[in-house]
Amino acid sequence: MASDHRLGALKAFDDTKAGVKGLVDAGATVVPAIFHHAPESLNDAPHHHDHQFAVPVIDLAGLATPSERASVVGAVKAAAETVGFFQVVNHGVPEAAMSAMLAALRNFIEEPVEAKAPYYTRDYGQRVRYQSNFDLFHSPAANWRDTLFMDMAPEPPAPEEIPPACRAIAPEFAGLVQRLGSTLLGLLSEALGLPRGHLEKDAACLEGLSLACHYYPACPEPHLTLGTTKHSDPSFLTVLLQDAVGGLQVLVDDDGKQNPAWVDVPAVAGALVVNVGDYLQLLSNDRFKSVEHRVVAKSAGPRVSVACFFRADGSTRVLAPIVADGAAARYRNTTVDEMGRHYRAKGLDGVSALEHFRI
């Protein structure tokens, strides 16, 4: 638990409603203690710039014929079963919409504090929430980032609930990403040997969509903190739009679990990053991997990204592993609500939320 001194520092920071951007604007030349991560969490695995593994890039243009589609399904299956990450190109989300979404986020976060403060909240009942660190009061150390959350589906926010900077582009971008999500879930369904519509329709993986729009200011002491702690995602699937600054790393273990290493997920022009989330690892009974990833703090910046989380709507929806060929279930049945509450309560502590549900 946080000491009284630390709790006071956290409250003082939160009360500014200015986030990490406020610290930078005030001229911070050091990283405050509440952002200091333990050395063992910063250096828990080597970082390989030249690691032999590369996150695969999959071209979605090749879906026109059955043979082309089978090839793409094979590539998606291989990625989902091993590293749990891949990038997609020719995905149908126009470059103009991607650029506009990143620009809108940057414009919002760079507004004066008084313009952003009305949106600053920790109330999960609000469909639009601006805050710094959703787990600020639970995590061992705060992360060097601010976030605008927007729950876009099934019930989008009213236009006036969305900050003016994002009002025009956010609903349009969410719609484009949902269309891509339908394509991806079809490919993943086939990769599990199921009918194309299974994950979207029967498992309702496309019902809910939340955008986590992250802003990572340039950091004066990047060796002391992280942009985002090591974690896996509370989603079925995550589609990430990132700018060219870089910093996203995935924990890859491609030689028999003997030598896990952090590998950069490079910014590929026009690409979107896709990763399997915890809900889909549970649903697939461990066939697909929800792999840990993080964002390192950088002296360059700001870095902006938009993580689009596909989640089931309805807190009572049951998540149950799809068991094939007489295999035993590896997880107990749970609900979206229970998984969400567990994830929020534990925060980004470096431990997979799935362990709580494993049989």
pLDDT, tens only, 286-319: 999 999 999 999 999 899 999 999 987 766 778 8
The pLDDT mean for the chain works out to 92
Question: Residue 282: what pLDDT?
Answer: 95
Model confidence pLDDT, tens digit, residues 143-163: 999 999 999 999 999 999 999
Q: Which structure tokens are listed for 314?
A: 């309805």
Print burial letters for 278-292: b (CB count within 10 Å at least 16), e (below 16).
bbbbbbbbbbbbbbb
- For residue 1, is pLDDT > 60? no
* 66-81 vs 169-191: helix crossing angle, rounded to 10: 90
Beta bridge partners of 149: 129, 212
Angle between helices 95-109 and 169-191 (to 10 degrees): 120
Distance (Å, rounded) from C-alpha 144 to C-alpha 36? Answer: 10
Can you tell me the mean pLDDT for 189-199?
Answer: 95
pLDDT (tens digit per residue) in 25-64: 999 999 999 999 999 989 888 887 655 678 899 999 988 8
Q: How far apart are the C-alpha atoms of 145 and 27, rounded to whole Å?
A: 16
Give residue-wise pLDDT tens across range 204-262.
Answer: 899 999 999 999 999 999 999 999 999 999 899 999 999 999 999 999 876 555 678 89
pLDDT at 314: 66
pLDDT > 90 in the chain, percent? 78
Q: Tell me what pLDDT residue 347 has.
A: 73
Kind plus residue range of the DSSP H or E element containing 208: strand 208-216
Please give the pLDDT value at position 60: 96
Can you tell me the distance from the alpha carbon of 192 to that of 292, in angstroms, rounded to the nearest whole number?
22
> Do β-strands 128-131 and 293-296 pair in parallel, antiparallel, or remain unpaired?
unpaired
Residue-wise pLDDT for 83-129, tens only, equals 999 999 999 999 999 999 999 999 999 999 999 999 999 998 899 99
Answer yes or no: CATH 2.60.120.330 is held by domain 4-53+92-357: yes
